[in-house]
Amino acid sequence: MTENVTLRIIPSTLRIWMGVGALFGLGGLLLYLALAYPPASLGLQIFLILFGLFSIYGGARMMQSGRLSLELNGDTLTDSQGRLVATIDNIVKVERGAFAFKPSHGFVLHLSEPMPRAWFPGIYWRMGRRVAVGGVLPGGETKAVADIISARKSGIEI
């Protein structure tokens, strides 16, 4: 199976730990703010607590998803666990411009058919007809994968 891999994107360990630290730090700060200096509004305090817990949950998920890598194999983009991210035939457009709503060092795939939701912070997320790839992945490798996908969509065989 590895002889069929066109390109593999492995996340940067330093970026994973920076992202995890930022999310844990934000969650801890929000919880501290909500409990040590409670706002006058109970609704705002509940919001701070929930957002703080969600940030800590996101950090824990990022630690788990940091073990994943993405692989472009022929006509499919999969993760290292074998989960299908997208197929070349299902991709309508690759968006990686400066003003695109995309993760850091990443790109967005627009799909013709919706796929089930998936969320692996720092690696990729998929919701409906959009797949966003990037975050803690190296920018040069994600750019190469986006270019290869675009070329294959144009009919150029790489």
Q: Is the pTM of this model over 0.75?
A: yes
pLDDT of residue 1: 41
Concatenating the DSSP letter of every residue in 87-130 gives EGGGEEEEE--TTSS--TT-EEEEEEEEEEEEEETTTEEEEEEE
Residue among 155, 140, 107, 113 at smallest CA distance from 7? 140
Alpha-carbon gap, residue 122 to 134, rounded angstroms: 6
Residue type, 150: S
Q: What is the pLDDT along the chain (158 residues), one digit of tens a residue?
A: 444 657 889 998 999 999 999 999 999 999 999 999 999 999 999 999 999 999 999 999 999 998 899 999 888 899 999 899 999 889 999 988 777 778 888 899 999 999 999 999 999 999 999 999 998 999 889 998 988 888 888 777 66
| Domain layout of the chain by residue ranges | 11-65, 70-153
pLDDT of residue 104: 85
